[in-house]
Amino acid sequence: MFRYTYNTLAYGREPLAEGIARLARYGYDGVELVGEPAEQDVGQIRAALHRHGLVASSIISIFTPERDIVSTDPAVRRRAVDYVRGNVDHAAALGAEVVTFTPTACMKIVPGAERAREWQWAVEAAREVGDHAGECGVRIAVEPWNRYETYLINRMDQAVAFVDEVARPSVGVMADTFHMAIEEPDIAAAIRRAGARLTHVHLADSNRAAPGYGHIDFGPILAAITDVGYDGWISYELLPAAGDVWGVLSGAGAPEFGDAYTEAAITHTKKIVSDLRTVR
């Protein structure tokens, strides 16, 4: 039985309590939060979750030029690691199970140092946040991004190699089907190769809209997620068709990412999961 959650990043500047209410309305089990601990009141979020019978599932980390795990500036690297540690603390305080991790600033596509050196910085950072997460009972999910958002870890095989080198039980890999539809020849096969390392899942269709609004066949993907024994969260990270997604979400917004996609995402997935059960 999967548990379902939805990344509230898509709700833009809407107050979090409204997003939590919406997710409860459409049958979600959890809420995925954007990792900005300084802007979020743990007490208020817990109260809203309690009111609607939901839990915090996961926290997505936002990596900017000021929070770049492989910056050539040691102060920036330190700040990035401290930021992820802060997200782990935030997760522990909220009862969330997973914090995401990607070792470059989002949209950074030119390396600042040699690959081997950046890789080593990233491994060391992941070990440090992984050790901290382990102490807090939280897991770290390393997320590959598509070629337009990063250059360092674009594919599952790279994430698997990274996580194996990090070698911490609290650090695993993440699958996001939007990125994978660009980078992987076979999404389901990539998930099978991740195996027991699979720690978090973002479903989005080929165009980053709700599953069912693009052309990804989610049947084999959900079968693979089931077969590797994954018992974590199924989340949806749905974002507008733009290079600058936050510009769109924080501006005029993208109303379809509210009720329409929130309902469609879970409905479409549950239908496929139910069909798979019947077939098996």
Partner 1 sequence: MTRPLGLSTFLLASPFSDDAARPAFEQVAALGYDLVEVCVEDPGRLSAPALTEAARETGLAVGVCGAFGPERDLSHDDPGRRRQGVDYLRDCIDLAAAVGSPHVAGPMYATTGKARMLGPDERAQQFRWAAESIREAADHAGECGVTLAIEPLNRFETDLVNTVERGLELCAATGRDNVGLLLDTFHMNIEEKHLADAVRLAGDRVFHVQVAENDRGTPGSGHVPWAEFFGALDEIGYHGQVVVESFLPTVAEIARAVSLWRPVADSPQALARDAIAFLRSVDDSRDRS
Q: Cα–Cα distance between 157 and 144 in angstroms, integer?
A: 9
Smallest Cα–Cα separation from 60: which of 18, 23, 10? 10
Query: Which CB atom, from 49 or from 152, has the smaller least distance to partner 1?
Result: 152
Site membership for partner 1, residue 206 (CB under 8 A) = yes
Assess contact for 96 and 135: CB atoms under 8 A.
no
Residues 145-184 that bind partner 1 (CB under 8 A): 146-149, 151, 154, 181-184
**What is the rounded CA–CA span in Å between residue 211 and residue 213?**
6
Active site residue 18: no
What is the x/- site pattern for partner 1, positions 66-95, by CB under 8 A? ------------------------------
Least distance in Å: CB of 139 to partner 1? 28
Kindly state whether residue 243 participates in binding partner 1, applying the rule CB under 8 A: yes
- The tokens for 157 are 């095989």
Q: Which of 214, 219, 253, 258 binds partner 1 (CB under 8 A)?
A: 214
Residues pairing with 142 in the sheet? 101, 173
CA dist., res. 222 & res. 236, Å (int): 13
Q: Which stretch binds partner 1 (CB under 8 A): 72-80, 84-92, 169-177, 240-248?
A: 240-248
CA 246/CA 239 separation, integer angstroms: 9
Nearer to partner 1, 129 or 221 (CB): 221
Q: Does 244 bind partner 1 (CB under 8 A)?
A: yes
Residue type, 54: L
Q: Which is nearer to partner 1, 138 or 249 (CB)?
A: 249
Is 237 considered catalytic here?
yes
Buried b (16+ CB within 10 A) or exposed e, 141-176: bbbbbeeebbebbbbbbbbbebbeebebebbbbbbb
Beta strands in 84-129 (DSSP E): 98-101
Q: Is 62 in the site for partner 1 (CB under 8 A)?
A: no
Residue 26 contacts partner 1 per CB under 8 A? no
When asked if residue 125 is in the footprint of partner 1 (CB under 8 A), the reply is no
Q: Which residue lies nearer to partner 1 by CB, 59 or 245? A: 245
Which CA distances in Å does 174 have to 80, 254, 267? 19, 26, 22
Considering only 65, 241, 259, 260, the residue that binds partner 1 (CB under 8 A) is 241
Catalytic residues: 143, 237
Interacting residue ranges for partner 1, rule: CB under 8 A: 109-110, 146-149, 151, 154, 181-187, 206-207, 209, 213-215, 241-244, 247-248, 251-252
